[in-house]
Amino acid sequence: MAKKSLNVVESAYRAVMEEQDDTILWLLAAMQGAGGAHTVVLRGNAVNYAIAGQGAPGLTIGEWKQTQAPRMDRDVADLIENRKIPVYVVEEDLAERGIASDELVSGVKLLSRRALPKLFAEYEIISHW
């Protein structure tokens, strides 16, 4: 039985253009497929990942064009729907950025900062990315 793992993701949009995804969300999806039992908490700037309808144009350099630019909302939805990884978003971090809850990908759960310690107590491993 895999250990229950809570992953607090704070670093955001660091290398998403080059990797065409977020390396940590990708890693957790892959580990979940290997039998992991992961949960994600998006906090700080990473709450932006949960906004539906976002997307970046691919990078273009001369004749070279990127065709598979990242879609972070798609990747968050994939975690929830296909990987069965619960995704929480810290609601105070949303509010500070002027993001309303109805802008988020379906299935994302709101969590207050005050509720974090109680959530932490439910997991054997807590990682801050």
Partner 1 sequence: MPKKTLTFALMDAPYESANLTTAFRILDAAAKRGHDINVFAYEGAAALAFTRQSPHPNPVHGKNLAEENHPTTKDQVAALLAEAAKNGGKVDWVNCGMCVDERGVNEFVPGTRRGSPADFQAFLDASDNTLVIPTK
Q: What's the rounded Cα separation, in Å, for the pair 45 and 120?
A: 20
CB of 3 to partner 1, least distance (A): 21
* CA-based R_g, the chain, Å: 15
Residues at the interface with partner 1 (CB under 8 A): 13-21, 23, 26, 29-30, 33, 59-64, 66-68
Closest to partner 1 by CB, 25 or 89: 25
Q: Find, among 125, 124, 113, 118, the residue nearest to 42 by Cα.
A: 113
Closest to partner 1 by CB, 43 or 83: 83
CB of 15 to partner 1, least distance (A): 5
CB of 102 to partner 1, least distance (A): 28
Q: What's the rounded Cα separation, in Å, for the pair 7 and 114?
A: 17
Closest to partner 1 by CB, 73 or 111: 73
Closest to partner 1 by CB, 40 or 111: 40
CB of 4 to partner 1, least distance (A): 21
